[in-house]
Amino acid sequence: MSFVYPTFLWALTALAIPVIVHLFNFRKTQKIYFSSTRFLQQVQEATSAKRKLKHYLILASRLFFLLFLVLAFAQPFIPAKEQVAARQNIVLYVDNSLSMSVPVGERTRALDAGLTMANEIVEIFPPDARFQLLTNDFAPFSNTYKTKAEVLDLLTQVRLSPVSRSFKEVKDRIDNTNRTRAHDEIFWFSDFQQSTTGALSESMPDSTQRLHLIPLTFEPLANIFVDTAYLENPFVVGGEKNTLNVKLRNDGTKAIDQLLVKLTVNGIQTGTSSIGIPAQGSASTSFDIVSAKRGTSQLVISFNDYPVSFDNEFSLALNFSEKVKVAEVKSSFTKSPVEIVYGNKEVFNFRSFDIKNVNYSVLQETDLVVLNGLDIIDGALTSFLQNYIMNGGALLVIPSSTPDLVSYRTLLSNNTLTSVSEPQLTELETPDFSNPFFENVFEERANRLVLPKARRVIDWGNDRSAILKFKSDKPFLSQFTRGGKIFLMASPLHPEFSDLNNNFLFLPVMYRIATSAKKADWKPYHNLNETLITLRIDSLSGEQQVRLAGQQEIIPAQRKLGDRVMLELPRFSMNTGFYHVMVGRDTTGLLAFNLNRNESLLKQWSAEEVKQQLGGADNITVFEANSAETFSNEIKTRYLGKPLWKYALIVALFFLLIEILLIRFLK
């Protein structure tokens, strides 16, 4: 035990005062003689003994009263476990991800509780301490140390952010921005979600740092969120009926009955569905949608899920373009399987040309050119197609039974092409459904499929990323990038060489080849944790910049390749919702961004579990505080010690009360 004012203990000499008073305040007795004093003498002796006892008790109570009164003014305290030194560097990390909107008490959000606790810490340290405030936004103010007044002002400006950070990201940020300065104290306010914290073993704190973990623990809550959403027909064509399938997930331990799910299209509610979701399970529902023939549509899936509401909306963007323009160049006048598959006039604008009568101006405007069964490709057509591909066009090459390899090599810029003669048809391998080419194409992925058979007439070596392969691992259909896209098939579409056109794979593969050349292949939604997306934008000049206009306007870093542009997204500066893709004054498309699904998984690590995963060193401490009040008491005890003057004052008053009672009632 120590004292704030130890010199005040000299006042203990005042204890001599009541002793002196008691010694010199005894009255001298006067003897009075009576005729018979035998019985009076006995009464006198008994009264004198009680009087002495009373005086001693009163003396003791007065001594204790003065003793504890002096101790109260000297302010005794139990020394702090951790001393507050001068000129300390304090780092405050406040997790402000959207999961921190979940209440930790009856009505207090986790973020508000964390900010209150951070204020308590700032107030504890002396005025010459310097503070670094860090949030998930990694804002510029976090690069430098602030005074106490400045950091208190910054704490009032902290708001929820759609950005999630792993433990390692935050730790690296702290270390990288302060390489030349040692941190005496790091206070870490977080909900420690298991889904977003990441690998803690990679983030061991330095031995010169003291890491204090302050967990903000949620009550057990259910949370409903959209796991996936996809169109039944992935080839988005305006004006046609389609079905939107939605899968919702329940992260809680309690089943949800009759959850009302709404679909809004361009601000107008177009459908509702009521579903039940089991605990720790999922359920699916669907909505029929019909949209305009051209333009874009903003779809929002919403529901009410209290009190976790930050993920109650899910956005999708549908980009509808004109019909896909396909042109076929062939060597015969008979109707080919290509013309049959692209004969849907609601989806495709199809033209067919004989090799001797090709309209190059029409080919220039098409999205996909199909060379079907040509023995030789003349120089004029080769030169045109090479420029067409370099400008972002798409080409499908289906060889004839006797292709001229020289002209094929020149067109494809591929010297590895060789002629192959196989005696019989060979079955193809099951498609690799993880290939991005087949994304959202097949709803069910059965293992037992009736696969097409073919025999090759050309070979171009091994291709591990081939769209379709033989069981021998030789490619049957491959995709190459030469500015635009080149699709190369190993066999003609004749019955003696392939039965692909009679197989279930033919339609989706040919549709996917055609629609991959249109803007309809834009994804219906992206997550905020994505860093790179690729868009196809027609008529994009070299000097024009692509802008994203939503709640704020963003010009991301970008790289152009033909009519394709790759955007490097500043994901930590973006919000959920819709962004229009702008080129100049023109709107060329619509993007939708949603939260990373991991943010909706609320299962937490306890602070002790975090400490153990970080190695459990002595420089890692844990504050177990369920409220701001208990945290305030704990932080003061740890850094200021436990004051005892209140207890000393209470004891002093207690002995004063004892003295009064002795005088009043002890006769």
CATH at residue 491: 3.40.50.880
pLDDT of 177 strictly over 60: yes
- Do 610 and 571 share a structural domain? no
- Do 435 and 527 share a structural domain? no
Query: What is the pLDDT at residue 324?
Result: 83
- Do 479 and 355 share a structural domain? yes
SS (H, E, C) 104-120: CCCCCEHHHHHHHHHHH
- Do 623 and 474 share a structural domain? no
Which residues touch 27 (CB under 8 Å, ≥6 apart)? Answer: none
Q: Which of residues 517, 548, 577 is at a domain's end?
A: 517
Q: Encode pLDDT of 17-42 as tens digits.
A: 777 877 776 544 556 665 655 555 55
Q: For residues 191-216, give the mean pLDDT.
A: 83
- Do 209 and 351 share a structural domain? no
Tell me which residue range forms the domain holding 539.
Answer: 521-594
Give the model's confidence band at 133: pLDDT under 50 very low, under 70 low, under 90 confident, else very high: very high
Residue 507 lies in a domain: yes
- Do 497 and 525 share a structural domain? no
- Do 653 and 564 share a structural domain? no
- Do 26 and 64 share a structural domain? yes
CATH of the domain at 575: 2.60.40.10
- Do 633 and 654 share a structural domain? no
Q: Which of residues 465, 497, 517 is at a domain's end?
A: 517
Q: Which of residues 463, 486, 517 is at a domain's end?
A: 517
Higher-confidence residue of 46 and 199: namely: 199
Helical residues (DSSP H) of 148-220, grouped into ranges: 148-155, 167-177, 194-197
Query: What is the pLDDT at residue 16?
Result: 81
Residue 282 lies in a domain: no
| The residue to which tokens 């050309």 are assigned | 458
Residue 245 lies in a domain: no
3-state secondary structure of 513: helix
Give phi and psi for 32, each to the nearest 5.
Answer: -125, 125
Q: Encode pLDDT of 580-595 as tens digits.
A: 998 888 888 899 999 9
Nearest in space to 95 (alpha carbons), one of 186, 190, 197: 190
CATH of the domain at 103: 3.40.50.410
CA distances from 626 to 154, 197, 215, 269, 281 (A): 24, 21, 9, 42, 30
Q: Encode pLDDT of 484-514 as tens digits.
A: 899 999 999 999 999 999 998 898 899 888 8
- Do 612 and 537 share a structural domain? no
Task: Report how far residue 560's alpha carbon sits from residue 569's, in angstroms, rounded to the nearest whole number.
Answer: 15
Longest dimension (CA), the chain: 163
How many domains does the structure of the chain reveal?
Answer: 4
What does DSSP assign to residue 97?
A: B
Residue 36 lies in a domain: yes
pLDDT of 70 strictly over 80: yes
- Do 70 and 166 share a structural domain? no
Residue 262 lies in a domain: no
Query: What is the pLDDT at residue 156?
Result: 93
Residue 235 lies in a domain: no
Query: What is the pLDDT at residue 292?
Result: 62
Residue 280 lies in a domain: no
Residue by residue, DSSP assigns 439-466 as TTT-SS--S-----EE--SEE----TT-
3-state secondary structure of 521: helix
∠ CA(441), CA(443), CA(449), 5° rounding?
A: 85
Distance, first Cα to last Cα, the chain = 40
Residue 445 lies in a domain: yes
Query: What is the pLDDT at residue 20?
Result: 80
- Do 472 and 570 share a structural domain? no
Residue 352 exposed, middle or buried by CB count within 10 Å (0-12, 13-18, 19+): middle
Nearest in space to 556 (alpha carbons), one of 575, 532, 539: 532
Amino acid at 631: F
What does DSSP assign to residue 192?
A: -
Q: How many CB atoms lie within 10 A of CB 277?
A: 20
